[in-house]
Amino acid sequence: FCVTLRRYRMYEFLDRLIVTAIPRIRDFRGFSSHSFDGRGNYSFGVSEQTIFPEINLDKVDRTQGLNITVCTSANTDEEAFWLLKFFGFPFKQ
């Protein structure tokens, strides 16, 4: 299913994702800067939901991944790249 987050919840999720969840990904070397769609939106996948500390590992029967798309108001991929970089997205060098 699909969930859309806006305003406060969106910013809270992005903060939790960048500050808490992404650093918990094993062997993470950064996101690719080639996953923009040409309209300033960025998509990526996470292979395990257990990177989020809110997930109780004792209640997880099987790991599930999730796809995340960050829709921005940027007009170009370059503008969106710098916007997400400003938010703290760890892109590959």
Q: So what's the pLDDT on residue 3?
A: 83
Name the more confident of 47 and 9. Answer: 9
Q: What is the pTM of this model?
A: 0.79
Pick the CATH number of 7-87 from 3.30.1490.190, 3.30.1440.10, 1.10.1240.10, 3.40.50.2000: 3.30.1440.10
What are the extents of the domains in the chain? Answer: 7-87
The confidence score (pLDDT) of residue 61 equals 83
Write the DSSP symbol of residue 65. -
pLDDT at 81: 95
- Please report the sign of the dihedral spanned by the C-alpha atoms of residue 9, residue 11, residue 73, residue 21: negative
Among 30, 35, 25, smallest CA distance to 72 is for 35
Q: What is the pLDDT of residue 91?
A: 92
Spatial separation of the C-alpha atoms in residues 56 and 53, rounded to whole Å: 7
Q: What is the pLDDT of residues 32-88, one digit of tens each?
A: 989 999 999 999 988 887 788 788 777 778 878 889 899 999 999 999 999 999 999
pLDDT (tens digit per residue) in 13-27: 899 999 888 888 888
The predicted pLDDT at position 46 comes to 84
- Cα separation values, 81 from 24, 33, 53, Å: 23, 7, 27
